[in-house]
Structure 1
Amino acid sequence: MKLHLLLAGVAAASFTVSAGAQTVAVQDDSAQSTEVESASDVSSEEDIVITAVAQGTNRLNSSITISSIGSDSLVQLAPRTSAELLRNLPGLRVEASGGDGNANISVRGLPVASGGSKFLQLQEDGLPILEFGDITFGNADIFLRADFNVRTVEAVRGGSASTFASNSPGGVINFISKTGDQEGGAFQLSSGLDYREFRVDFDQGGKLSDSLSYHFGGFYRIGDGQREVGYDGVRGGQFKANITKSFGDGGDVRLYGKYLNDRAIGYLPNPVQVTGSNSDPEYRDIANFSINNGTLHSGNIQNVQTLDGNNRPTTRSIADGQNPVVYSIGLETQIPIADGWNIVERFRYADISGGFTSPFPAAVGSAQSLANGLGGAGAQLFFASGAQAGQRIADPASLNGNGLLANIVLFDVDLKSLNNITNDIRINGSVPMGAGSLSITGGFYASRQDIQSDWLWTSFVQTVADGGRSELVDIRTAAGTPVTQNGVPGYSASFFGNCCRRSYDLDYTTYAPFAQLGLEIGRFNIDGSLRYDFGQARGSVAGADLGAGFGSGITAFDINGNGVISAPEQQVAVIPGVRSPLDYNYDYLSYSGGVNFRLTGSTALFARYSRGGRANADRLLFGPSINPVTGGLTDQGAAVDFVRQLEGGFKYRQGGLSLYATGFWARTEEQNFEATSQRFFNREYDAKGIELEGRFARGPFSLSAGGTYTDAEITRDVLNPAVEGNSPRRQAKFIFQATPQVDFDRVTIGANVIGTTDSYAQDDNQLVMPGFTQVNAFFSVRPADNVTVTVNGNNLFDVTGITESEEGAIPANGIVRARSITGRTISAAVRFGF
């Protein structure tokens, strides 16, 4: 109770008095001063793990699996997005095809039944970016930008993530900031050579006095982005700063802040031609549309008219794309209270808002057939935007060289508040025990996560063209009667049955006491930890999808204000005034235990068993698990999904060689909702496999590599038993990465290879998504001290890499809606160090 009161004193009125439990991995500040490079850059006993553990510990002494990427690698690899960076971590399946956010991230065969990172938590400096990594249209990676502020990225797979972080039984990825321990900084100018994006990065850190250090940095950019769209698809930046006061007794306190306001395109599925058979398909570009370089975004389609969350006319900008706006402030402190005992406190408040706007193709087909579907046989087509606006399309079969149209549902979500407040406080220390020592940690975590958003979806018809050339198309009947208005058939999700005009106003409050004991005796390290999460979900939702009694979602409304109600204006989606409550509590216990045996000074064996939970959040809404009248659960078990994991392996590190091998098994429960397919899931999965990681360095040459073999299976499906025994969609048997590098005095040459084997597009295991290997390369030269010129090639051989497909089998017209990795992009940068 005293600990609870102390927490309340720090986080005062920010938390409502209710249930909840969640804990975040908090690194020990004493370890933070140790400069940790990439997983294999460190060959000494100072290879310290500080993520998802009780206290900083040596990697060879720990019974968890962890990898890291240092700041030097961030500069050399020049990933276009944070997701592309994370593909270099073993065990992670990262579908890096969505741009600067909206990536699907999983670990060790755990499923991606919908979007985001449900079982994996993304953190900055030991606290979560968002409490839930898969908020619909608010995935955590949207609100993350990796820049010069990052010192290290650490990734823990499985293990103690179950008990040292809430809602992340699969693992924790922690972006750790520089704090000025090393004097100096950098200024970098970079530009795309074959794509239009210009960027400036900077950072500076150092000592203001013997006991006061600081660091600040950020970036700004502008341009089309990786794919040509005909307007500034990316524009904005980030600024972060911190200041640390150290005390003579070993304690310290750090204040830090972040401002992020960026706009970036969210790439959704695009059309691609597929021939051959489901088991042996060939994916080819459609005429005048490249699957790995094109997008349906266009300079001719930037604004849409609709109604806002209060059912008032508004104009929304597609050009805003993924628009994270974040103001955050935090406090970290370590307070010594006795010999070897410390209190570690972490607190952060984040004001988060923005939006997600991107076109999703509900259907792609021949222009005339799609026009007939709206206007009847013999429907007429006219350009509705661009230089040809108003002109009739006389020969639809030759339109844009491919004769295609796309029926678009615009995913347009106003993220009014994803604010969160988090606090983690713990006490840790050790006591002698016989010939060894017993480490003890106890703590309490609390958080509150808002989810306030309005879904303002609408629809339109457009041509299929890349390079920012796509145009809206109007449809008229054979008699010339308009059935669209400026390309819009209805101001709703017309092609999804007018669904999904929704409003969410939710609060999720979480509390979690946790404790750990660790015994170090001789060559053995044995530890066990517990975490008890208890929480509540409160708030309300509105939407016609709730069913009878909750209002109609369609009305007539004069959108353009001309005094005439056109055919599309008779199909205007509104948010009903009747709201459904959300009101339930949940609780669950997580535990983890492991043993590590140090065979020699350079080798170790380990094993661990864990059970962790993930509380389900907004994706339960509008589904069978919530009673829309009471807001309570229809099935109490729906509140939490559990992951059980067994892992064990071998570690070796000596001189310039390190090898790590981990075998794993996981059983996962999954209840979820996918917005694109409007499907609910209720399943269980099994996954087993082996994860390998290593590094070799001799002289100027080094090689880092990793690979993960996974055998995953859907073992139970309540809603669709036909898929039981199948492989989960998009789960490849083998994923791998390798980075060879040669570093001379002033020249560095290297490559970064990312690959995957085949996988199935959907759970019915029909259409295969072929495996692919992507090769990135970098060349840097230092013509003078503190000056570095770098040329970086991403996807150097311009391979097509399909990461997801809406279709589970080749349709009759052979057109599949899919997401691919981005094609070849070349960038150059000049960096000045000081």
Structure 2
Amino acid sequence: MRAKAVYLAFAPVVLVSSVTPALAAEPGDRAAELVVTQAQPARTPATLANPIQVFSTGVARGRDPLDSATSTSGLQQSEIELLGARSLGDILRNIPGIRTESSTGDGSSAYTIRGLPLASGGSKYMQIQEDGLPVLEFGDFFNGATDIFIRADFNLAAVEAIRGGSASTFASNSPGGVINLISRTGDVRGGAIQLTTGLDYDMDRVDFHYGSPITDTLRFHMGGFYRTGEGQRDVGFNAYEGGQLRFNITKDFANGYVRLSGKYLDDRSPHYLWGPVRITGTNDNPVFSSFEGYDVRRDSMLSGNLGDLITLDADNNPTVLPLSQGQDANVRSIGIESRFDVADWTITHRARYSEIAGGTTRNLVSNIYSGSALPASLGGGTGTFTYATGPRAGEVISSLGTLNGNGLVVASALNRIDSSDLGNFINDLRATRAFTLPRGELTLTGGLYNSRQNFRSDWLYSNHLQDVAGDGQSALINFTNAAGVAQSQDGYLGFNRSGGTAFFRRRYDVQYEIAAPYGSVNYRSGPFSVGASLRYDTGQVSGELFGADLGGGRVGIMPVDFNGDGVFSVAEGRTAFTPLDRPAPVDYDYDYLSYSTGVTYRVAEPFALFARYSRGARAAADKVLFSSKVSTIDGSMPDPEDGYDVVEQLEGGFKYRTPQLTFNVTGFSADTEDTNVQAGAITTDREYTAYGVEAEGSYRRGGFSFTGGVTWTQAEIVSDRANAAVAGMVPRRQPDFLFQATPVYETRDFTVGANLIGATSSWSDDVNVLKVPGYTLVNAFVQYRPLDRVQLMLVANNLFDEVAWYEITSRSVPTNGVGRGRAANGRTVSLSARYDF
């Protein structure tokens, strides 16, 4: 069946290419329009404030942004290089309207757009694509978010972003917007190699790329990176290791092209989660700071002293999983893209088959206690505590209340979310034709999108006690009660998530099949253009779930002799297993209609007005499984509307562009449904509303350039079926203002500038009691070109070493002053040397 699907996807390319002669490149090739970003024979200063002139993401055909009733932004490769971005989240936070929380590391960042809700990690309403196709069909799989499986490197030519608008109808599951990473394709002969090292943190990296025409009608590009090091935070082990290799080859014909591409990604990085935060003051005037011996900007609750994760594997066999696995991505994909003009129609086809696996090994801090006030379940100070791991293993801890100068003890769940299969096959075929009419031009587009997305994930847990220490020195703690009975084993309280239950020991084995026909019509007459588009998504969801959470007599706790001493310890008696003999079926369908309509008035060559209304939706994925939305008896979904969440959006504004100045302003409003989970267990069934204004601009004069943007948002929880008390509240972590600015001055020999990212204050929780302060982060960069083709670059991220809070989990100031939170990385400085050839 899979072979047949692959044949059907690739057959249109074979058929069309077999009847077309080989001569010249088709001018509609998007990569050919981005030659400004391709490698040049000699290194020249970066070019900012030079907006992309033709935009192709999330629309029927590539258009001048001033002729499109959409809100679009683009970053070219030269701009991305100056930003000094070290992850995809760092790049995307420079696009107006996009809110990014990237404190988790390279992956599992949280993304949303224009006030749409951000109830959990990943990108629920915004789709991340590579070369016009999604990396994952759903961007917010639990600990399997899209950005774990994608890397920005020298293969990247540009990033295009469409917010709202026709994203609802030209891509599935993306009503908020589409982010498209566009690859280089070897239009210009040349390449580069760059070596980067951290000056005040442990990281070494090499990037390279090379592309070239082979003949007049054949060209290729290849590139990749490799890196290794402890990373930006002190964890006591090599947390980053791996790289990527990508390749494409393009055959041009007289009326089109065919491109074959491949990707191999094998990379791992740490997953940073909450750590201890000192919270004092009042709810109206809170004070957030670090505890003694633990810097929220540089430390982590990960540590080499924790040892590896001991638990049962996915098949309920004892296993040891390396903590250094972190967020690991293993991707092998092959894709084909073609575009041809056939009988006045432009036929575009994209297909990609991907094998995707990986997951996340992380340390989830459940509770942080003052050691002098431990609960009775953890000893309450009446037993004996000793170090279980690290250089002081076996040493008695005489005073928990003064331990490491902070007196803190942490109950954590060391766990592995093992995404053994996130593979997919994605196919998109569309045809477009422009008809010349007496008073204008009519453009028709029709297409069919198909995808198959696998989701095989196992949740494996153990829990333990540890101290709070910086520099990657935290260690596990053993506890023996007053009767002399060990309540932990090698620091482990149990080989489950917590307590004596099998809560969250799960397996998902589900497949999503999606078919979505779509079409659009656009009419342009003089300065006016009006368009409308439709998309009809149908989905089939099938598979099985396993877990004691499902109830129905599914038992999930048993003793396991992990250390082989023939005796079941207290901790070994708390071992969670997956009840593989008692699955719950998943078997439901869904369908929904999306539509969008917009109008543009080109007032003058540099100035245009536009307005658009859109209704789209996002299909439910794993967040509705293990919930009352799906029957554990027959796998059905009793209420079909639970299969998707609807987003309705209205936007309008103006665009202004001259060779020196670009300025766009858009007003927007959105009404959104969201069925989701928060903090891993809290089910939400909500309606939200948001409105605001976003503005972006760029300016260039001589050697000076400036790009920037600001977004003002007012968001509100309208209702929640599960918790009526939050109605009327502002969603957690939603600031009123987001802003970014990049001033640059450049000459032939050097470039100097800064990238500022900021947000105003927000609420820590949906109850709107505790305010979290806003922040401004400054990243600075200097490029120096001492010789032709040679460049040195110094980048300082968070130049002023500010404390920027992305998340505080407390609802109010805790009485003991101990909370949990995540902050941006402190100052990190890197030096790069690049040679272009």
TM-score higher than 0.5? yes
Q: Distance in 2 between matches of 1:605 and 1:399?
A: 63
Q: Distance in 1 between matches of 2:499 and 2:695?
A: 45
Deviation per CA, 1:417-444: give whole Å up to 9, x if none: 0001000001111111222110111000
Corresponding residue for 1:192? 198
Distance 1:445 1:140, change over 3 A: same
Q: 1:739 is matched with which residue: 738, 742, 760?
A: 742
- Paired residues in the alignment total 811
Deviation per CA, 1:120-150: give whole Å up to 9, x if none: 0000000001000001110111111100000
Q: Displacement of 1:376 after TM fit?
A: 4.9
Q: Displacement of 1:37 after TM fit?
A: 6.9
Q: Distance in 2 between matches of 1:497 and 1:742?
A: 60
Aligned pairs for 1:567-586 (under 5 A) are: 567-576=570-579, 577-586=581-590
Q: Distance in 2 between matches of 1:618 and 1:199?
A: 35
Q: Distance in 2 between matches of 1:189 and 1:40?
A: 22
Could you say what secondary structure the match of 2:389 adopts? coil
Could you say what secondary structure the match of 2:778 adopts? strand
Q: 2:698 is matched with which residue: 695, 698, 704?
A: 695
Q: Displacement of 1:578 after TM fit?
A: 0.4
Q: Displacement of 1:495 after TM fit?
A: 5.2
Distance 1:555 1:43, change over 3 A: closer
Q: Give the partner amino acid of 1:487.
A: G
Corresponding residue for 1:15? none
Corresponding residue for 1:299? 304
Deviation per CA, 1:24-77: give whole Å up to 9, x if none: xxx995333111779995658x70001001111001111101111111122221
Q: Distance in 2 between matches of 1:113 and 1:565?
A: 40
Could you say what secondary structure the match of 1:118 adopts? coil
Q: Displacement of 1:335 after TM fit?
A: 2.1
Could you say what secondary structure the match of 1:562 adopts? coil
Q: 1:283 is matched with which residue: 282, 288, 295?
A: 288
Distance 1:510 1:222, change over 3 A: same
Distance 1:229 1:809, change over 3 A: same
Q: Give the partner amino acid of 1:158.
A: G
Aligned pairs for 1:10-29 (under 5 A) are: 10=9, 29=28
CA contact (8 A) 1:253 1:334 kept: yes
Q: Which runs of 5+ in 2 are unaligned?
A: 12-25, 38-45
Aligned pairs for 1:558-707 (under 5 A) are: 558-576=561-579, 577-674=581-678, 676-707=679-710
Corresponding residue for 2:161? 155
Q: Percent identity?
A: 45
Deviation per CA, 1:594-651: give whole Å up to 9, x if none: 0111000000000000000100011111111111111111322110100000000010
Deviation per CA, 1:772-830: give whole Å up to 9, x if none: 00000000100000100000000011111111122211222111111111111000000
Corresponding residue for 1:437? 441
Q: Displacement of 1:655 after TM fit?
A: 2.2
Aligned pairs for 1:141-180 (under 5 A) are: 141-180=147-186
Q: 1:320 is matched with which residue: 315, 319, 325?
A: 325
Question: What is the TM-score when the length of structure 1 is the normalising length?
Answer: 0.95
Corresponding residue for 2:795? 792
Could you say what secondary structure the match of 1:310 adopts? coil
1:354 aligned to 2:358? Answer: yes
Distance 1:809 1:821, change over 3 A: same
Q: 1:506 is matched with which residue: 507, 510, 514?
A: 510
Q: Distance in 2 between matches of 1:495 and 1:715?
A: 36
Distance 1:144 1:344, change over 3 A: same
Q: Give the partner amino acid of 2:122.
A: G
Q: Displacement of 1:372 after TM fit?
A: 4.3
Q: Distance in 1 between matches of 2:733 and 2:27?
A: 37
Q: Distance in 2 between matches of 1:744 and 1:502?
A: 57
CA contact (8 A) 1:503 1:541 kept: yes
Distance 1:481 1:301, change over 3 A: same
Q: Distance in 2 between matches of 1:42 and 1:751?
A: 14
Q: Displacement of 1:276 after TM fit?
A: 1.1
Corresponding residue for 1:310? 315
> Which moved further from structure 2: 409-418 or 761-770?
409-418
Could you say what secondary structure the match of 1:52 adopts? coil
Corresponding residue for 1:241? 247
> Which moved further from structure 2: 488-497 or 382-391?
488-497
1:388 aligned to 2:364? Answer: no
Corresponding residue for 2:29? 30
1:108 aligned to 2:111? Answer: no
Corresponding residue for 2:92? 86
CA contact (8 A) 2:49 2:705 kept: no
Question: What is the TM-score when the length of structure 2 is the normalising length?
Answer: 0.95
Q: 1:332 is matched with which residue: 333, 337, 340?
A: 337
Q: Distance in 1 between matches of 2:328 and 2:140?
A: 17
Aligned pairs for 1:392-403 (under 5 A) are: 392-403=396-407
Could you say what secondary structure the match of 1:414 adopts? strand
1:227 aligned to 2:233? Answer: yes
Q: Give the partner amino acid of 1:656.
A: Q
Could you say what secondary structure the match of 1:166 adopts? coil
Q: Distance in 2 between matches of 1:362 and 1:368?
A: 18
Q: What CA RMSD, in Å, does the superposition of the two structures yield over aligned residues?
A: 1.7
Extract structure 1 runs of 4+ deviating beyond 6 A: 5-8, 36-40
Q: Distance in 1 between matches of 2:5 and 2:473?
A: 59
CA contact (8 A) 1:507 1:538 kept: yes
Q: Displacement of 1:409 after TM fit?
A: 1.1
Q: 1:253 is matched with which residue: 244, 251, 258?
A: 258
Q: Distance in 2 between matches of 1:495 and 1:97?
A: 29
Corresponding residue for 1:22? none
Could you say what secondary structure the match of 1:568 adopts? coil
Q: Displacement of 1:721 after TM fit?
A: 0.8
Q: Distance in 2 between matches of 1:309 and 1:791?
A: 45
Distance 1:6 1:625, change over 3 A: closer
Corresponding residue for 1:18? none
Could you say what secondary structure the match of 1:72 adopts? helix
Q: Give the partner amino acid of 1:529.
A: S
CA contact (8 A) 2:299 2:471 kept: yes
Corresponding residue for 1:20? none
Distance 1:499 1:748, change over 3 A: same
1:823 aligned to 2:822? Answer: no
CA contact (8 A) 1:36 1:48 kept: no
Q: Displacement of 1:668 after TM fit?
A: 0.1
Q: Distance in 1 between matches of 2:818 and 2:122?
A: 26
Q: Distance in 1 between matches of 2:610 and 2:49?
A: 20
Deviation per CA, 1:254-286: give whole Å up to 9, x if none: 000101111100111111101111222111111
Q: 2:806 is matched with which residue: 797, 803, 807?
A: 803
Deviation per CA, 1:524-580: give whole Å up to 9, x if none: 11111000000110000000001123x111111111222111110111000012000
Could you say what secondary structure the match of 1:324 adopts? strand
Corresponding residue for 1:48? 54
CA contact (8 A) 2:532 2:598 kept: yes
Q: Displacement of 1:758 after TM fit?
A: 0.4
Q: Distance in 2 between matches of 1:534 and 1:411?
A: 35
Distance 1:611 1:320, change over 3 A: same
Q: Displacement of 1:8 after TM fit?
A: 6.5
Q: Which runs of 5+ in 1 are unaligned?
A: 13-26
Q: Displacement of 1:498 after TM fit?
A: 3.8
Q: Displacement of 1:413 after TM fit?
A: 1.1
Q: Distance in 2 between matches of 1:69 and 1:363?
A: 41
> Which moved further from structure 2: 640-649 or 472-481?
472-481
Q: Distance in 1 between matches of 2:830 and 2:47?
A: 27
CA contact (8 A) 2:35 2:188 kept: no
Corresponding residue for 2:14? none
Distance 1:40 1:600, change over 3 A: farther
Q: Distance in 1 between matches of 2:35 and 2:808?
A: 38
Q: Displacement of 1:677 after TM fit?
A: 4.2
Q: Distance in 2 between matches of 1:401 and 1:776?
A: 33
CA contact (8 A) 1:28 1:56 kept: no
Could you say what secondary structure the match of 1:102 adopts? coil
Q: Distance in 2 between matches of 1:792 and 1:541?
A: 47
